[in-house]
Structure 1
Amino acid sequence: MSVLFKTIAVFLFGLTAYSCFAHEVRPAYLQINQVSENVYTVLWKVPRTVDKVLDIQPKFEKTFDLKETTPPRILDAFVLYSYQLKGSKSLTNTEISIHKLNTTGIDVLVDIRLLSDIHHTFLLQPTKKTVLIPETPNKWTVAKTYIILGVEHILLGFDHLLFVLALLIITVGFKKLLKTITAFTIAHSITLSFSALGIANLPGPPVEAVIALSIVFLAIEILKLQQGKSTITSQKPWLVAFTFGLLHGFGFAGALQDIGLPQNEIPLALATFNIGVELGQIIFVIIVLALIKLIKYFIPQQTWLYKLVPYAIGSISAFWLIERISGF
C-alpha cells in the first residue's frame, strides 16, 4: 500500500507545479461554410490565456483570397476572427494548413460545410499541419478525430484524473475497482450524451466547481479510511463514482461544446469522443498500476506519505474550487 502512496506523491508533485493550468488545453477551431460558388465564410477560433493569444493562422492556396470581415472578438478562453474567403475554384482537392502550428502544443479542428451538403471534419496537429480536402468525406476521419480529442481531453483534464486517482486509492481489490471504474464510465457517458444532444444541461462554472468539490470529498474520505473509519466510499465506491460521474459528464460536455460537433455526424462524433475519453481513462489507470508494480521493490517504506497524499489531493482540489467559484 505504501508503494501506491509513493507513486501518487510523485504524480501530485508534478500536478501541483502545473495546477494553474488545471483546465484542459483546448484545440483551435476553423469553421468554413460555403455561401456561393467559390465564396466561403471563415470563423477562426484561437485559444488564449490571460495575456497571450497563440500566433497561428490558417493558410490557403494562392488562388484564394482571405479578407477579415469583422474585428477580432474575445469569447471566454478564445479569440474569434471572421473572414471571407474567395477563390477561382472550389476548395475541393486543395490544401489547407495552419501557419506556425508546429511551434505550439495544440490541435486544430477543421470543419468544412459545402453547399452540396458535403461535410468534412479534420484534426490538424503540430506534426501534421496540412490537409488535402477530398471530394467525398470519410466517416473514419471523423471517428479518428474525435477519438483523439477524447483521449487528449481526459489526459489533459487534471481534475478528472485526480478524481480517478482518489478512487484508485480508496478502492481495494480488482473486482471492486473494475466495478467502480465501470460505474464512473456509465455515469459520465449518460450526462455527456444528454448534454450534447440537448436533452439536459447544466451551466459550466458551477459544474466545474462541484467537480473540484467532489475531489475534496474523496480526499476527506481517504483520511477517514486511514484512521480506520468505515465510510460509504470505502464500502460502496461504485455508488460514489456513479453519483459524481454524472457531474463529470457535464464537464466533458462543456469541453465538447467548446470543440464543436459536426452537425451531420453528431452520433458518430459523440460516440467516438466518449470512446476516446474511456481509452484515456484506461491508459491512465494502467500507467498508475504499472508504476506501482515497477517501483515497489526500490523505494523504502515512508509512513508519512500516507498523510501527505490525501492532504495534497485536498489542497490542490480546494485551490481549484476557490479559483472556479471566484470566476462565477
Structure 2
Amino acid sequence: MILHWRLYFLLPLIIAICGTASAHEVRPAYLELREIELGTYDILWKTPARGDLRLALNVILPDSCITTSPHRTVPVEAAVIERWRTICEGGLQGQTIRIENLETSLTDVILRVEPLEGAASTLRLDGATPSLVIPQKQSGWAVAHSYFDLGVEHILLGFDHLLFVLCLLLLVRNVRRLIGAVTAFTVAHSITLAATTLGLVHLAIGPVEALIALSIAFLAAEIIRVHKGQTGATARWPWIASFGFGLLHGFGFASVLAEIGLPGEALPVALLFFNIGVEAGQLLFVGAVLLVMLLLRQFSSRLPEWSWRAAPYTAGSIAMFWFIERTAGIIF
C-alpha cells in the first residue's frame, strides 16, 4: 500500500485550484506564413477566444513587409482566424517576427513558415521569447523541442486530465496495480492521439470533452464505493478502466494538435515528442503529488475521520459541473 488516506486531504487543495480555472487547457495560438510567390506571403493567424473576446495578441512583421490585402476575420470554435496577404522584400528568412502582448499571456504561439523553396519550419514562441529570427533551415531537434514543450504545458494546464490522474491515484493503492493502470492509460491515449492526428479516426471534440468530465465523476464514485467496502471491477482491474478512459483522453490531447497542425515533413518527430512531453508532464505531476504526501505525513493523525469524503465529493461535483457546462455547449 503506498497511498495513505492523507491524500484525501491533499486532493481538495489541488481541486480548488482547478475549479477556479477553466477545465480546458490554455490553447496555443497558430501563425502560418506561406510564401506563394517570391517575397509574397499568405498569412493565417489563429488566436484563442472565448465568445466574442479573443486574446489581444498581434503579429508584428519586419518593417520591410507591406500588407497588400484587407484582413479577413472569421470566428470559429474557441478561436478567431484572421487572413491577409503581405509582401516582404527579400523574404522572411533571417528576419524577426514578434507577437505583441505575448509576454503578458500564458499562451504559446506555434509559428509555421512555408517558403517557396526548401523545407518548412515549425517554431514556438512564448512569454519568455515573444520574438524570434526565422532560420534559413530548421533542424529536426528544433521541431522535437517545440512539440515536447507543448506537450508538457498541455498536460500541466489541462486540469481535467490532471484530475483524472489524481482520482486514479486515490483509487489504486497497490504499487503493482498503480503502475499497470498508469501504463494502460499512457498506452491508450497514445493510440488515439496518433490515430486521430494521422486522420485514421475522428470524433467531435465537444462530446469527447463532456465524456472526459464524466470519466472523472465515475472514478470519484468508485473511490466512495471502495472506501465503503464495495469493491467493484474497476478497483480489482483498474487497468481496464484506465485503458478505456485513456482512449477517450487521447482524443482530447489530439484536439490541440488538430488546432495548431503538424509539420508534414517532420510529422513523426512532432507527434512522438508531443506525446513524450505529455508523459513527462504527467510523471512530473504524479511525482509532485507523492512528494507533498510525504510532507503531509506529520499531519495525518490530526485529520477527522470524515475528511476522506472531501476529495471524491469535490472531484465529482466539479466533474459534473464540467459535464453540464460542456453538454450545454454542444446543445446550444
TM-score by length of 2: 0.95
Contact 1:96 1:132 in 2 (8 A): yes
1:66 aligns with 2:67: yes
Report how far residue 117 of structure 1 moved: 3.4
Q: Which residue of 1 is the match for residue 315 of structure 2? A: 313
Kindly report which structure 2 residues correspond to 1:115-134, keeping only aligned pairs within 5 A, or say none: 115-134=116-135
Find runs of 4+ consecutive structure 1 residues off by over 6 angstroms.
none
> Are 1:233 and 2:238 matched, yes or no?
no
Deviation, 1:173, is 2.0
Matched, 1:3 2:6: yes
2:257 alignment counterpart: 256
Of 14, 21, 34, which aligns to 2:17?
A: 14
Counterpart of 1:87 in structure 2 is: 88
Matched-pair contact (CA < 8 Å) for 1:9–1:305: no
Partner of 1:326: 328
* Alpha-carbon shift at residue 69 of structure 1 (Å): 3.2
The sequence identity of aligned pairs, in percent, is 40
Note if 1:302 corresponds to 2:304: yes
CA distance in 1, matches of 2:189, 2:159: 16
Letter in 1 for 2:75: I
User: 1:221-246 CA deviation, whole Å, 9 max, x = no partner?
Assistant: 01100111111111111111001111
- Which residue of structure 1 lines up, in the alignment, with residue 151 of structure 2? 150
How many angstroms does 1:85 deviate by? Answer: 1.6
CA distance in 1, matches of 2:71, 2:126: 27
Contact 2:9–2:310, Cα closer than 8 Å, also in 1: no
- Any residues of structure 2 matched to 1:19-98 within 5 Å, and which? 21-98=22-99
Does structure 2 conserve the Cα–Cα contact (< 8 Å) formed by 1:59 and 1:96? yes
Aligned pair count reads 326
Q: Does 1:169 align with 2:170?
A: yes
Where does residue 188 of structure 1 map in the other structure? 189
- Distance in structure 2 (CA, Å) of the matches to 1:70 and 1:63: 18
Distance in 2 separating the partners of 1:322 and 1:277: 27
Once the two structures are superposed, what CA deviation does each residue of 1:159-183 show, in whole Å capped at 9, x if it has no partner? 1111111100011122221111000
Mapped contact 1:26–1:259 kept (Cα < 8 A): no
Q: Which residues of structure 2 form unaligned runs of 5+?
A: none
Contact 2:26/2:157 (8 A) holds in 1 = yes
> Cα offset for 1:259?
2.0
Distance 1:214 1:88 in 2: 53
Give a deviation string over 1:173-223, Cα, whole Å, max 9, x none: 222211110000000000110111111121111111111111111111011
Tell me the secondary structure at the aligned position of residue 275 of structure 2: helix
Backbone CA RMSD of aligned residues: 1.2
**Deviating more after overlay: 61-70 vs 214-223:** 61-70
Distance, in Å, in 2 between the alignment partners of 1:326 and 1:216 is: 17
Task: Decide whether the 8 Å contact of 1:195 with 1:201 is kept in 2.
Answer: yes
| Unaligned segments of structure 1, at least 5 residues | none
Instruction: Name the aligned partner's letter for residue 324 of structure 2.
Output: I
TM-score, normalised with respect to structure 1: 0.96
**SS state of the match for residue 84, structure 2?**
strand
Q: Partners of 1:260 and 1:192 in 2: how far apart? A: 13
